Amino acid sequence: MAELLVKARNVNPRKSIGDVITVKPDGWKWGKDECLPQFVVVKVPDLSEKEAREKYMLPLWDDEIPKEVQTPLKFREKNIEVAEIEIAIKDQKSVITLTKIQLESKIEVKTSGSISL
């Protein structure tokens, strides 16, 4: 199982609500600040930690500039839908559980064309 620490509040312009901050293994002992109002932990029983890192920890790059000479446009190229995070906030749940299929259906992919600089 993978556990994803997800941004729940916007305080950094590079990190958006729904961005996966880090991925940890099942049973990870999250700190007292790794909860609402700043974060939501998303547990995904049928997703491995390795697969979660490979899919959800990639930054968003400008496709027209070589990666070697740029900084990422955004912290992550994918995020969990803001609506899903807002539901957790409304329900005051710092931890939610989604299946791999549920998570995939709630992923938004950012593009460099959708980023205003």
* Per-residue pLDDT in tens (0 to 9) along the chain, 117 residues: 999 999 999 877 778 899 999 999 999 999 999 999 999 999 999 999 999 999 999 888 787 777 788 788 778 999 999 999 999 999 999 999 999 999 999 999 987 665 544
Can you give the pLDDT at residue 117?
46
- pTM here is 0.86
Cβ 95 vs Cβ 41: under 8 Å: yes
What residue segments make up the domains of the chain, in order of their start?
2-110
Can you give the pLDDT at residue 31?
96
Burial of 68 (C-beta count, 10 Å sphere; 0-12/13-18/19+): exposed
The residue behind tokens 């992923």 is 107
